[in-house]
Amino acid sequence: MQSKKSQLQTLKKVFLYIGKYRIFVLLSFVFAAISVALTLYIPKLIGEAVDDIIGPANVDFMHLRDTLILIGLCALVTALMQWLMSICNNKMTYQIVQDVRNEAFRKIEILPLKYIDGHAHGDLVSRVIADVDQFADGLLMGFTQLFTGVLT
């Protein structure tokens, strides 16, 4: 189990990697905010649509039509914002993964041969490939859920 100091150092390093891609973080946050706002606005519009149907002879068809069109537009814009947020998160995550792998390869290149011979080759490959892939999955899920969860 990692100590608190080690965890803070790891977190600091992750934020340094993320810091290079601030624009994607900002865009993702904006897209998430719009998506969440519209997602929360749709039930209000549905309530208005229900209110337009007062009774069999008292239906306000014009306002009901406008409300239904607005609901459809909100759903369409929400889907677009979620798609754009997903693109930003994917781009950011895979750029960070590329940076981590490049740094790992640079470090492997300067390691003494004694170290490389003393460790299983599969272990080195696993750390560079599998562990970084798990890191990427965590980042991708974390960005998406963090932004939408906090804003909701």
> What is the tens place of the pLDDT at every residue in 100-143?
889 888 988 888 888 878 877 777 777 778 888 888 888 888 87
For residue range 62-107, what is the model confidence (pLDDT) as tens digits?
999 999 999 999 999 999 999 999 999 999 999 999 998 898 889 8
* pLDDT score recorded for residue 95: 93
DSSP-based three-state secondary structure for 57: coil
Global confidence as pTM: 0.80
Phi, psi of 53 (to 5 degrees): -105, 80
* pLDDT score recorded for residue 45: 95
pLDDT-based confidence at 46, cuts 50/70/90?
very high
CA 7, CA 18: separation in Å to the nearest integer? Answer: 16
Mean pLDDT value across residues 19-33 = 92
In residues, how long is the chain?
Answer: 152
CA 152, CA 147: separation in Å to the nearest integer? Answer: 9
